[in-house]
Structure formats: C-alpha cells, structure tokens
Amino acid sequence: MSLAERIKPLRLVAFDVDGVLTDGGLYLSDSGEEFKRFNSLDGHGLKMLKASGVELAIITGRTSKCVELRARNLGITRLYQGVEDKLATMQALLAELKLAPEAAAFMGDDVVDLPVMRRVGLALSVPAAPQIVRDHAHYVSQREAGHGAVREVCELILGAQGTLEAQLAPYLK
C-alpha cells in the first residue's frame, strides 16, 4: 500500500511527546520542575491539521504540566499522560471515535511506541529513533524531533488529503 493510500483515510493522528513534539531532552530544575522545548512551526502544523477535520491526540508515558499547557494552547483536548499501555489507550480512543485502526496514525520515537505504530494505518517516526522503530515506520520525517518534524508530517497529511492549499490560503491573500 502506498503512503498516499495510507494517509487518505486518516481521521485521527496521535503523537508521543518526548522525542516527537520535543527534541527528547528532559530539562529538570533543582526543585524538580520539568521544562520542555516545543517548536512553534510544529504547533501551527497541528492547528492546520485540526482545522482540516482530523482529530488530534497526545499519548505519552510521562506526566508534565507543560505538556498540559501546550495541548491547551493548541486546542488538543485528547491528552493522555502517564500512560503505561499506549496501545490500550489508542484502542479505547478508536472505539470512542468509532474509527478503524486504518483511520489512525501514530508518531513515536522509541520501542515503547511500537505496539501502537504496528497497529495503526500510518506509523510515523523521526530520524533519531532507534533503527527498529524506523524499520516499522511507514514514514520517517526528514526534520528532527522538536525542529519541525511534526510540521512536516502535518503538511504531508494535509497535502495527501487535498486540504493543504485551503489551510494555507488565508496566508496567501
């Protein structure tokens, strides 16, 4: 099946956080406060993808207040933090939305993401992911995590679904 054939039916795209929405670094202060660096290009890509009618979700094993704030800023209401079994979370989400696995994509970067990546219609990853993860991805971004990888994937999906031009039109007046 071609990449375009995998993208066309997508109605849900879920993302891991560390190493996908961020560069994977964990910044901890002496007081234990956690900091993460998010990319504004990625954020706008997510907003365009959501505006095109694709549901967005974040499924992450860690729990962080800054991820909650970022999701709220982007209008992502399907936020699942502290998840030990990402596949069970994805399956519950698919059931809630009444979607087949083929209508979902997941972007991950480590072996803990493989159970989900192996069961969705489109598995996405980043260049720094371990080889085994990249081997199971249908698409590996050219851009690095936290440096436009998510934007690249959003535009890839928008383009294949024929909605990219409509999302860019307001900026080209």
Q: What is the pLDDT of residues 108-130, one digit of tens each?
A: 999 999 999 999 999 999 999 99
User: Residue positions in the annotated binding site for substrate?
Assistant: 18
Tens digit of each residue's pLDDT (9 = 90 or more) over 21-73: 999 988 888 998 888 999 999 999 999 999 999 999 999 999 999 999 999 99
Question: Residue 153: pLDDT above 90?
Answer: yes
pTM (2 d.p.): 0.95
The answer to whether the CB of 121 falls within 8 A of the CB of 107 is: no
Binding-site residues for Mg(2+)? 16, 109
Binding-site residues sit at: 16, 18, 109
**104, HSE (Cβ side, Cα atoms, 13 Å):** 26
Provide the CA 110 distance to its chain's centre, in angstroms: 13
How far is the C-alpha of 59 from the C-alpha of 54, rounded, in Å?
A: 16
Confidence of residue 82 (pLDDT cuts 50, 70, 90): very high
Q: For 35, phi and psi rounded to 5 degrees?
A: -120, 145
- What's at 67, amino acid-wise? V
Residue 97 and residue 11 in contact, taking contact as beta carbons nearer than 8 Å = yes
Domains recognised in the chain with CATH numbers? 3-168 (3.40.50.1000)
